[in-house]
A and B are shown apart, each in its own frame.
Chain A
Amino acid sequence: DAGVTQSPTHLIKTRGQQVTLRCSPKSGHDTVSWYQQALGQGPHFIFQYYEEEERQRGNFPDRFSGHQFPNYSSELNVNALLLGDSALYLCASSFRVRGLGTDTQYFGPGTRLTVL
């Protein structure tokens, strides 16, 4: 059973460009969350997708957008890249059990984005 996969592994962009990162969830998972992790910090929640809709959003500007497809895979798009967007972008998938109130998240290996 494949776990969470992300592509690409590494990416180098210049300021002002746009980038798309991709995530395939673990089999049986229907919820995808995206996180940004700057060097030396913990992951920060960007947003979560469930049933192809953004269910919750963290404190990130509109330059960060996403999409979830019918097969539950997801994309993260970042427009007008800034130097400060350089980070490890993590995707986590989970399955929401009704009434449980929380998910167990499984993380992909991440995409290392460098903005020059």
Chain B
Amino acid sequence: QQPVQSPQAVILREGEDAVINCSSSKALYSVHWYRQKHGEAPVFLMILLKGGEQKGHEKISASFNEKKQQSSLYLTASQLSYSGTYFCGTEIGNQFYFGTGTSLTVIP
């Protein structure tokens, strides 16, 4: 039931854009996005509650396609501080499932 993310890893130069995808085999009613830096706890980025909902957080935004059971995270004009592992997640029956994770590295 763990959501699958793609790509597994991506390397960007500062200023480039990236898209991280999250797909589930189960129906999604909400999608959460987190970023985790090495050795630190996951940090909440945003939550999408309705199909088609899009949200933004500075230069990071996300969309949620409930019918396709997918969500995508968009990072524009990436900064060095964006480096980390990104996880999507969803709640199924009071249990929270994190996605497989995407490692993002931004280089100068």
Q: Which residues in A have some Cβ–Cβ distance to B below 8 Å?
A: 33, 41-45, 48, 55-58, 90, 100-110
Contacts and interface: CB of A to CB of B under 8 A. Distances in A.
Interface residues of B, number: 23
Interface in B69-107: 85, 87, 91, 93-101
Given A102-B49, A104-B32, A108-B41, A43 B93 contact: no
Interface of B: 2, 29-30, 32, 40-44, 47, 49, 85, 87, 91, 93-101
A49 B107 CA distance: 41
A102 B47 contact: yes
B94 A42 contact: no
11 contacts: A42-B101, A44-B98, A45-B95, A48-B96, A90-B41, A102-B91, A103-B91, A105-B96, A107-B41, A109-B40, A110-B41
A48 B29 contact: no
Contact of B41 (A45, A56, A100, A109): A109
A42 B99 contact: yes
Contacts of B100: 42
Contacts of B41: 90, 107-110
Given A43-B42, A56-B95, A105 B87 contact: no
Contacts of B91: 101-103
Q: Which of the listed residues B2, B93, B94 has the most CB atoms from chain A within 10 Å of its own CB?
A: B94
A45 B91 CA distance: 11
B44 A104 contact: yes
Contacts of B32: 102, 104-105
A55 B44 CA distance: 22
Contacts of B94: 48, 55-56
A97 B62 CA distance: 23
Contact of A101 (B29, B40, B95): B29
